[in-house]
Amino acid sequence: MRIGINTGGGDAPGLNAVIHAVVLSAHHRGWEVYGIQTGYAGLLDTRRTVRLTPSHVESIVDRGGTILGTTNRADPFRFPVRGPSGEVTFTDLSDEVVRNFHALGLDALVAVGGDGSMDLAARFAAKGIPVIGVPKTIDNDLADTNYSFGFDTAVSTATDAVDKLHSTASAHQRVFVVEVMGRYVGWIALHTGLTGSADVILLPEVPFDLEYVCAKILANERRGKSYGIIVAAEGARHVGGQLTTRAQTTVGRQEPLLGGIADWVAREVGQRTGKESRALVLGHLQRGGSPTTFDRLVALRYGAAAVRFLAEGKRNVLVAYQPPEGMVPVPLEGAASRRKMVPVDSDTIRTCRELGISLGDAPPLE
Ligand code: F6P
């Protein structure tokens, strides 16, 4: 067997651990592994496909990023091509990808990525590339899998930042609104807000009302707490409001660029409560750094399972983490569109409410 591996979409801590596990478990079966660089771009220019041996993946389990590089703006079905005067047109180069895959003598592709990459993987599977998908996203939003690696590291980074804000917020009697990633779901905000002792958590799943947010800050003040921490998911929105987005800066990126909710909330809270309020956007810090032990463990298990499933003859499946069974194969087709939102009646949400953390949708507990 000769297998290719690529990493697509935004990076997530743990990608290198997956690559490590794929290379070693394939090697121990006598298979060869080829690293395809920068998503599918390495299959448009085959010089960017390199043989990976165990020595290439030594000492990378603890490294953030991906040794293969990644992109979220090189969809081969709609590939951006810049003309001589700078204008961009989109061309379907998917047949070239399939041709090059076969020309390299590859038998299967391990595609590691988020929903966009899984959608591409399913489309290439339909065009005859045998694929095993490995879900990656700090957002933890793929429905088929209980947990995607990178999430734990992102939450640890965000919680560490919130922990540090408490002392300065308290010293200046300020309100801080911390914007965290997560796209259309609130997993990072929920876990960060709860473990970082936020006063208010704003989630896409629970549209908020500024009146209740301000009421919580003022209720705290009445009982002697002069500062406030609000953790806002980038996809959070006011009741009846829209997602907050920023202007696209990248050609070929098809998803809207979320961001700006913290600025808006800080401004409104400042005006309505009279308290000095500041916004802090954690941004890509959440994707950087060394993966936590938990993310390494899960990522290694994903990588080994991908190769195990290939050895068992499985094709066009996604490796899904479904405890207590562990890693199980689920159909790749449609995996990208099955989104995992935070259940609004979950135990974690109930815990927030019971602890008096406001979700901005009801009067505060006094
Ligand atoms: O999907 C992962 C993620 O980090 C989201 O949380 C965020 O909205 C998006 O990617 C940011 O993408 P980019 O790196 O293109 O700014």
Find the mean pLDDT for residues 159-165: 98
Contact 34, 51 (CB under 8 A): yes
What pLDDT does 59 receive? 95
Residue 12 has pLDDT above 70, yes or no: yes
Which tens digit of pLDDT belongs to each residue from 337-357? 899 999 999 999 999 999 999
Q: Kindly give the distance from the C-alpha atom of residue 133 to the centroid of ligand 1, in angstroms, as a whole number.
A: 19
SS3 string of 54-73?
Answer: HHHHCCCCCCCCCCCCCCCC
Q: How far apart are CA 68 and CA 90, in angstroms?
A: 24
What pLDDT does 251 receive? 65
Q: How far apart are CA 292 and CA 22, in angstroms?
A: 19
- Pairing status of strand 49-52 against strand 32-36: antiparallel
SS3 category, 349: helix
CATH number of 2-149+291-333: 3.40.50.450
Contact 168, 153 (CB under 8 A): no
Structure tokens that stand for 138 in this block: 């700090």
Residue 309's pLDDT band (cuts 50, 70, 90)? very high
Residue 250's pLDDT band (cuts 50, 70, 90)? low
Q: Is 140 in the pocket of ligand 1 (CB under 6 A)?
A: no
What pLDDT does 72 receive? 86
Residue 256's pLDDT band (cuts 50, 70, 90)? confident
Residue 230 has pLDDT above 90, yes or no: yes
Nearest one of 143, 157, 151, 160 to 187, comparing CA atoms: 151
pTM, whole model, 2 decimals?
Answer: 0.96
Please name the residue whose Cα sits nearest to atom 2 of ligand 1. 10
Residues of the chain with CATH 3.40.50.450: 2-149+291-333
Please name the residue whose Cα sits nearest to atom 3 of ligand 1. 10
Q: Kindly give the distance from the C-alpha atom of residue 256 to the centroid of ligand 1, in angstroms, as a whole number.
A: 10
Cite the active site residues: 139
Best mutation site among 15, 66, 139, 281 for ligand 1, i.e. most ligand atoms within 8 A of its Cβ?
A: 139
Strands (DSSP E) contained in 149-283 are: 175-180, 200-202, 228-233, 245-246, 257-258, 277-281
Q: How far apart are CA 240 and CA 229, in angstroms?
A: 24
Residue 253 has pLDDT above 70, yes or no: no
Which tens digit of pLDDT belongs to each residue from 94-112? 999 999 999 999 999 999 9
Structure tokens that stand for 113 in this block: 């990525």
Write the CA distances from 267 to 208, 271, 278, integer angstroms: 15, 6, 8
Residue 27's pLDDT band (cuts 50, 70, 90)? very high
What pLDDT does 74 receive? 84
CATH classification (class only), 153-288+343-354: alpha beta
Longest dimension (CA), the chain: 71
Please name the residue whose Cα sits nearest to atom 16 of ligand 1. 257
- Pairing status of strand 131-135 against strand 317-322: parallel
Q: Kindly give the distance from the C-alpha atom of residue 72 to the centroid of ligand 1, in angstroms, as a whole number.
A: 9
Q: Kindly give the distance from the C-alpha atom of residue 138 to the centroid of ligand 1, in angstroms, as a whole number.
A: 9
| Gyration radius from the chain CA atoms | 22
Q: How far apart are CA 209 and CA 362, in angstroms?
A: 8
Read off the DSSP letter of residue 199: S
Residue 252 has pLDDT above 70, yes or no: no
Q: Is 114 in the pocket of ligand 1 (CB under 6 A)?
A: yes
What pLDDT does 337 receive? 87
